[in-house]
Structure 1
Amino acid sequence: MADVEMAEDKQLSALMAFRNELLSHEGSVSMFRAQHQDLLTRGACEALAEASPELSAKRRFSRPQLITLWSIGVLILIAALFSFRGVLVGLNAAFILYGLALCLFRLSLVANIIREARPRRIRNTEPLSDDALPLITILCPLYKEEESLPNLLGALDRLDYPREKLDIKIVLEADDEFTRKAAAKACKPGKYDVVIVPEGQPKTKPKACNYALWSARGEYIVIYDAEDRPARDQLRRAAEAFAVLPPTVACLQARLNYYNREASWLTRIFAAEYAYIFDILLPGLTSLGAPLPLGGTSNIFRTEALLAIGGWDPHNVTEDADIGMRLAAKGYTSRMLDTTTLEEATNGLGAWFRQRTRWIKGYMQSWAVHSRYLPKSPAHALTLHLVIGGVIVASLFNPIFWVLYIVWLSGIVDLDWLFPAPLGALATIGFLAGNLILLWLYMLAPMRRRWHDLVPYALTSPAYWVLQMAAGYRAAWQFITSPHYWEKTEHGAGLAHEEIAERDLEAST
């Protein structure tokens, strides 16, 4: 522990010294950053892993975790030598009980909906004058997004926030020639700070954000992706909310959804899923006092809290979910902000499949990292093992259980020994109740946004879940072979605000 603390002090003190010097520096920020490129690059890649290796996904598993996993595997094999069927019944029972726990959690989400018919808002906020508004840094990490850049800049121009109170950083990779050329033409010096991230591994979005983090001048930091179209008053609402919230609230997560949801069956189900996640699941976790697995964009952080935990994990390909858990581990909380950012949903199956692979792989990384220490509370364990862990279990083990359960019910093969009473009854309850509740939530979520046209498509969600299971096995393979590989999500140029349906813009506010 002493070694960890010394590493943390040495690494973070060097970065903090750079930051303090930069904030008082009156010359060119980009030139000053270039002079300290080696420090920033090393900090972006290794600060967290060196300071707190137990909280970094640089390693898949820690040594104690590997010993535990191998021990469990050996015990199962030894038990199977004595009673192979008994071991299978035990594993089946464990899976069924886990499924019932998921059912109870989903029922708690239903209860939260009944209890709070309207979305919970942060209370007692007061409008702030322009002079009273804090400085906010906007990080826009882009890679091969030259077509998206003009509409992104248009979305930023549309924000109802004083321009002099915005520190906008367009964060680009050194090898991204075309986006760099587009930014050189479109991003006026003084209005935008174009940050060039040096080449090196890992080549991930969180590494790029880390590189820009230590030169952020804002009291708060928000992430916007290339295709984001945030509600016009989003930052003003965030500033007003932070003004009345305790300093332990380190992050406000805006709701996310899609403006191109009507493009195909896939985008419609994707939009229903996002409505469930950001309008039901995350608010439900908030009401339970549980950590939030954050979205990858439109999360507004207190800069000092972000610096205190070492920034993002550059080795985690779902740095958003990870940082929500890491904030909670350090005593911070996150809240939902009742405003929406509209994005562009991936419309092709191949692009969706690659994106979903990365998300599930990142959840595997996050679960592995945050299983290295005891949860701070039952609510912390709930997010880790039922939300993050639930995605992993559903992706990898649901196909096996579904096949076994259907074969048992059909009687094609005698599997009564695998589902002895009362296990068979519990399996039926878990299978039917768990899937029906989730299906109902997928239908309810878009209805709460008055997107009634999505409800019939939500009924086809089981087919969507099968696709996720396939992505889960690909994610497991990548977790073993290339855990830090970032599969970029391909997008089009996106829509400008004036091209988005008026009803969607209304829903985004």
Structure 2
Amino acid sequence: MGRPAHGSDGLAGTEARPVHRRETAEHTTTRAQRAVAAYLLVGLALLGAWSPSSLGATLVGAAMVFLTAYMVLRLTLVLASRGYRTPEQEPVPDDELPRYTTLHPMYDEANMIPVVVAAMEAVDYPRDRLECLLVLEERDGATVAAARAFDLLDHFRIVVVPAVRPYGKPKACNYALQHATGDLAVIFDAEDRPEPQQLRKAAATFRAAERRGDRLGCVQARLVFDNEQPLRDGEGRTRRDDDGYDVRPTTWTSRLLGNEYAVHFDLVLTGLARLGLPVPLGGTSNHFPVALLREIAFEREQMPTMPDPDDGSVGAWDPWNVTEDAELGGAIAAAGWRTTVLDSHTDEEACLTARAALNQRSRWVKGYAQTSLVLLRHPWRTARAMGPLSYLAFQLQVGGTFVSLALSPVFWGLFGAYLLTGSDRIASLFPGPVYYAGMALLVVGNLALLTVSLYAAESRGRHGTVRHLLTVLPVWWCLLSLATYVAALELLVPSWRPSWNKTAHGVRHLGMGRRLALASATWFAAPEPTPVRSVAKPAVRFLPPDRTAPVLATGYVAPGVVAPRMPARPARPVPRPVRGGARPVVREVPKAPVRWLSEQSREAVLV
């Protein structure tokens, strides 16, 4: 098949469209945006000085309108996903399959090299048409050394990214794209295990779209957290390795993360694809025509640190955006191309702890906010490129996620404070219709979110997740809001946490039952006997054997000797003079617990 409707000088078979100039997130806001924000704050301050109650009602009303629009969009996408049809595929013979390049960006993951190789060896695709690029960082010597020491097959290549800021996955993908020789490209993370037929399905989908004249720019596979539920044996017990660690680690965090993926990829993204709206891509398993990536790449002056490529393109991913995939989905839509969801999945590994999930979610929410702010720099121009409805839907997806998670604790706090205090000031924020609309949004909205989560769990057969959704889902929502506040702090104070919040993979984990068993074995085990330690022998002077040893305070006497009655000691012992000089006085032994040992002649050991 060769290139699927792509040429080296652009994309063939498409009508001419105005080129949409992309902008990076190197700076959080522009001068114009800061000026608009300042004018808005001044206006709100004047309104508050004139009528504080009017200011509060205005802010509450605007927030409720925004949250209502966001909720309506989410529910619309969920309903639209029920009628989603898998994109048409046209089988491609092996000798006509396009050349495929897989990008595997890795950092500080030397232990994942065998996992990546094994995952790609399981993929069903001709090896002479497959190119696997291990994209490694120059400053990560351990992973580079591990990759070079590994016995890689011929279709694997190592690409070392220069240690030039900004660091991160998007910059690595941009650098690797300059070395890609394939017609199609896909990104896989280190822990990804794609379905063996995924590359063939993607190639067949692109070929069918080419035959129809469809402007298909990206194919997104579904992502699945395989450790949403534990791996069990035939008797229903959790499988563990020889060291007692779970073969497939599962926690309440991984279950709820897996449920989020089910909602996002099975319902939200499929609903967007069915309605023809822009899709905020996932960070992995998104397939692109290489020619399209080079056509919509950033301009040379926007990335001065990138080396000059042969084809003039610099890179399709924004290296300053921590959710470069979502931004790329909007750029594809602005260029007039469509994204669809593939009937294929990729297994991933979810975070196991709440702290790791907090770091990951704060990065994702921060990237969504960055994408929204970039699109707000020139809203009319971007809306013309995407289409007004598409632009609004995309903004509600990326910006609405940030705003809704930030506002949710505020409304819950106001509701709880009013129930506890009955404050008239809080009541003044919700006059008449606003109050009833707010109560409906609070009750119906949260029940709708819970219903969607339960539906997504049941549709994937994750019956064990339902119990966690009914018990800890509010705690999970609080965690997401906390991640949003962390992301806001990172945006306002970039120097506070400038590094990429990387998620660790290949983590070993002991199940809760196993940890409790080990802990209880330690807590309730019988104490070991305390060994008798030898101590320094006290300075004791024994009388000659022919004389009776004095009875000590402990009541013990020399073995085999009957203690006579001891006469009362005089108040002042008077030494008796002896011939040849004064005789030394036998002083009383200090009162201490002494045990006589029969096996050693007349020796004492302190107990």
TM-score, structure 1 normalization = 0.83
**Which amino acid in structure 2 is aligned with residue 477 of structure 1?**
L
What are structure 2's unaligned runs of at least 5 residues? 1-7, 10-18, 230-249, 298-315, 510-607
Q: 1:346 aligns with which of 328, 351, 356?
A: 351
| Preserved CA contact (<8 Å) 1:293 1:320 | yes
Q: Which shifted more, 370-379 or 429-438?
A: 370-379
Residues 409-424 of structure 1 aligned to structure 2 (within 5 Å)? 409-414=419-424, 415-424=426-435
Aligned residue number for residue 455 of structure 2: 444
Q: Structure 1 residues 220, 494: closer, same or farther in 2, change over 3 A?
A: farther
Residues 197-236 of structure 1 aligned to structure 2 (within 5 Å)? 197-236=161-200
Q: 1:251 aligns with which of 218, 221, 225?
A: 218
Aligned residue number for residue 26 of structure 1: none
Residues 313-324 of structure 1 aligned to structure 2 (within 5 Å)? 313-324=318-329
**CA–CA distance in 2 between the matches of 1:382 and 1:405?**
30
**CA–CA distance in 2 between the matches of 1:127 and 1:431?**
49
**CA–CA distance in 1 between the matches of 2:73 and 2:59?**
21
Aligned residue number for residue 122 of structure 1: 87
**CA–CA distance in 2 between the matches of 1:196 and 1:357?**
28
- Secondary structure of 1:218's match? coil
Q: 1:400 aligns with which of 385, 391, 410?
A: 410
| Preserved CA contact (<8 Å) 1:222 1:300 | yes
- CA deviations on 1:255-274 (whole Å, 9 max, x unpaired) are 00111113111111111111
Q: Structure 1 residues 329, 188: closer, same or farther in 2, change over 3 A?
A: same
Q: Structure 1 residues 145, 467: closer, same or farther in 2, change over 3 A?
A: same
| Preserved CA contact (<8 Å) 2:100 2:130 | yes
| Greater RCO, 1 or 2 (C-alpha within 8 Å, sep 6+) | 1
**CA–CA distance in 2 between the matches of 1:185 and 1:247?**
45
Asked if 1:371 corresponds to 2:376, the answer is: yes
| Preserved CA contact (<8 Å) 1:296 1:320 | yes
**% identity of equivalent residues:** 37
Asked if 1:101 corresponds to 2:106, the answer is: no
- More helix per residue: 1
**CA–CA distance in 1 between the matches of 2:351 and 2:446?**
25
Task: Quote how far apart the aligned CAs of 1:62 are.
Answer: 2.1
Asked if 1:435 corresponds to 2:422, the answer is: no
Q: Structure 1 residues 478, 456: closer, same or farther in 2, change over 3 A?
A: same
| Preserved CA contact (<8 Å) 1:288 1:379 | no
Structure 1 stretches of at least 4 aligned residues deviating more than 4 Å after TM superposition: 51-54
Asked if 1:180 corresponds to 2:148, the answer is: no
**CA–CA distance in 2 between the matches of 1:388 and 1:297?**
18
Q: 2:80 aligns with which of 101, 112, 124?
A: 112
Q: Determine which structure has more spread, i.e. the larger CA radius of gyration.
A: 2
Aligned residue number for residue 487 of structure 2: 475
Asked if 1:59 corresponds to 2:27, the answer is: yes
- Secondary structure of 2:186's match? strand
Aligned residue number for residue 384 of structure 1: 394
- Secondary structure of 1:337's match? strand
Q: Structure 1 residues 103, 169: closer, same or farther in 2, change over 3 A?
A: same
Aligned residue number for residue 291 of structure 1: 278
Q: Structure 1 residues 61, 321: closer, same or farther in 2, change over 3 A?
A: same
Asked if 1:462 corresponds to 2:449, the answer is: no
| Preserved CA contact (<8 Å) 1:147 1:493 | no
| Preserved CA contact (<8 Å) 2:317 2:328 | yes
**Which amino acid in structure 2 is aligned with residue 305 of structure 1?**
L
**CA–CA distance in 2 between the matches of 1:110 and 1:308?**
33
| Preserved CA contact (<8 Å) 2:136 2:143 | yes
Task: Quote how far apart the aligned CAs of 1:411 are.
Answer: 4.9
Aligned residue number for residue 485 of structure 1: 499
Aligned residue number for residue 47 of structure 2: 79
- CA deviations on 1:148-182 (whole Å, 9 max, x unpaired) are 11011100000011111111100000011111111
**CA–CA distance in 1 between the matches of 2:180 and 2:193?**
22
- Secondary structure of 1:225's match? coil
Residues 354-369 of structure 1 aligned to structure 2 (within 5 Å)? 354-369=359-374
Residues 233-244 of structure 1 aligned to structure 2 (within 5 Å)? 233-244=197-208
- CA deviations on 1:301-337 (whole Å, 9 max, x unpaired) are 1111111111100110100111001111121221111
Q: Structure 1 residues 110, 176: closer, same or farther in 2, change over 3 A?
A: closer
- CA deviations on 1:200-232 (whole Å, 9 max, x unpaired) are 110010000000101211111100000001111
Aligned residue number for residue 144 of structure 1: 108
Asked if 1:266 corresponds to 2:266, the answer is: no
Q: CA RMSD in A?
A: 2.0
**CA–CA distance in 1 between the matches of 2:145 and 2:485?**
39
TM-score, structure 2 normalization = 0.70
Task: Quote how far apart the aligned CAs of 1:234 are.
Answer: 0.4
| Preserved CA contact (<8 Å) 2:279 2:394 | no
Aligned residue number for residue 278 of structure 1: 265
Task: Quote how far apart the aligned CAs of 1:52 are.
Answer: 8.5
Task: Quote how far apart the aligned CAs of 1:248 are.
Answer: 2.1
**CA–CA distance in 2 between the matches of 1:227 and 1:431?**
38
Task: Quote how far apart the aligned CAs of 1:493 are.
Answer: 6.0
Task: Quote how far apart the aligned CAs of 1:384 are.
Answer: 2.8
| Preserved CA contact (<8 Å) 2:217 2:292 | yes
